Amino acid sequence: MVGRVAFAVPGDLATLTGGYAYDRRMIAELEALGWEIDLVNLGDGFPHPGQEQRKIAQERLAAIPAGRPIVIDGLAFGVLPEVAMQLSPRHLLIALVHHPLAMETGLTAAQAGDLLASERAALATASRVVVTSATTATLLVVDYGVPDDRIVVACPGTDKAPAAHGSADGIVRLLAVGAIVPRKGFDVLIGALATLTDLPWHLAIVGDRGRDPEAAAQLDADIMRYGLGSRVAVPGAVSHERLDELYAGADLFTLASRYEGYGMVFSEAIAHGLPIVATTAGAIPETVPVGAAMLVAPDDAAAFAAALRRAIEHPEERRRMAASARESALSFPNWQDSAKLFARALEAAA
């Protein structure tokens, strides 16, 4: 069964984050399966839209012909409960939740509470909820009251990738990929590396610097404060070709996330056969195979530094984890399989 569906996304679909990458690829794969997709841009400012931005989103959603199912990305869906209530009598709504908005780092307790209540109300109107990990599915059932039978887990697919060849100059090349926001834990990563200046390493941090200017400024300040300017490069978002080059030349992937709803960059790193040092936050243990990584509790800079030291000092440990990563990547779902699961959510909603 195929049909026509509106796919509503906040802002520019070409934005270089994991969530937008998932949306782009899923739209392409659904079209390949025969679905007609009407892309609807809800405008910028989410998940903290102003009144004018809310009005624009409401008008664009209201313009969708009655009866047409609408997939709404969770970055917007969770803060538009009133709009969702207005749409639900005329449309089947499918919420796409990458991770709950209240799980973002840096929120006050009041802000997190408001977002949880808002997203809970919006999700109550959805015919189906697509999530990118079993961890997120469980969280929505327990904390958001979403019935289990309304949830479809469609993990991101993973493309095959050439194995990283790593460095050849004795310097261990570390790679971190993620938008520069507090949730990614770059302060923990830099703090940990500041205690390892006796070791030969270099870090490249790749990610959008525009999402949170304060976090980007703090990262720059931390690098300067610890005197790591010559050892840490922060090029911002880069082209796919450049990112592939960085993966190929890396010896170790590392990210000190405080929460991940899935973490596509981890599966990409594993596809490249990279060992990983990361945290146990959110769905990371679900995404990252045990033998391919060293995982420590989030926000524990000392434990993170110890794991990095072990990985940097022991190339045989990195080789063992790299072999496990390459073997594990063979069992990862591809995007075609993930799109078929997503399509089931559309069919079930209809």
pLDDT digits (tens, 9 = 90+) for 213-228: 999 999 999 999 999 9
CA-based angle 24:30:35, to the nearest 5?
125
pLDDT score, position 119:
98
In a domain, 167, yes or no: no
The tokens of 269 are what? 């790193």
243 and 104, same domain (yes or no): no
User: How many domains, the chain?
Assistant: 2
Q: What is the DSSP string of 249-262?
A: H-SEEE---S--SS
Q: Give the residues across from 343 on adjacent strands.
A: none
Rounded to whole angstroms, what are the CA distances from 337 to 13, 55, 101, 344?
Answer: 22, 36, 27, 11
pTM > 0.75:
yes
Residue type, 294: M
User: Do residue 339 and residue 292 come from a single domain?
Assistant: no
Give the model's pLDDT for residue 52. Answer: 95
Give the domain extent around 35. 4-157+333-349
- What are 56's two structure tokens? 């624009």
- 137 in the same domain as 90: yes
Residues 316 and 340 in one domain: no
Domain assignment present for residue 231? The answer is: yes
Residue 349 confidence (pLDDT): 78
Distance between CA atoms of 123 and 29, rounded to whole angstroms? 25
Phi-psi region of 61 (alpha: psi -120 to 50; beta: other; left: phi over 0): alpha
- Is 103 domain-assigned? yes
- Where b means 16+ CB within 10 Å and e means fewer, 87-111 reads bbeebbbbbbbbbbbbbbbebeeee
Q: How many CA atoms lie within 13 A of 203 on its CB side?
A: 25
d(CA 64, CA 36): 14
What pLDDT is attached to residue 297? 98
Per-residue pLDDT, 2: 85
Flag whether 162 is in a domain.
no
Question: Domain with 97 in it: what CATH number?
Answer: 3.40.50.2000
Residues 324 and 342 reside in one and the same domain: no
d(CA 179, CA 123) in angstroms, rounded, equals 26
Q: What are phi and psi of 330, to 5 degrees?
A: -65, -25
Whether 165 maps to a domain, the answer reads: no
Same domain flag for 276 and 337: no
pLDDT computed for residue 335 by the predictor: 96
Residue 39: count of CB within 10 angstroms of its CB: 11
Q: Residue ranges of the chain with pLDDT lower than 50?
A: none
Residues 127 and 273 in one domain: no
* Together in a domain, 337 and 325: no
Q: Which of 17, 19, 18, 14 is nearest to 39 (CA)?
A: 14
Is the same domain home to 310 and 339? no
3-state SS class at 87 = helix
220 dihedral zone (left: phi>0; alpha: psi -120 to 50; beta): alpha
* 146 and 220 housed in the same domain: no
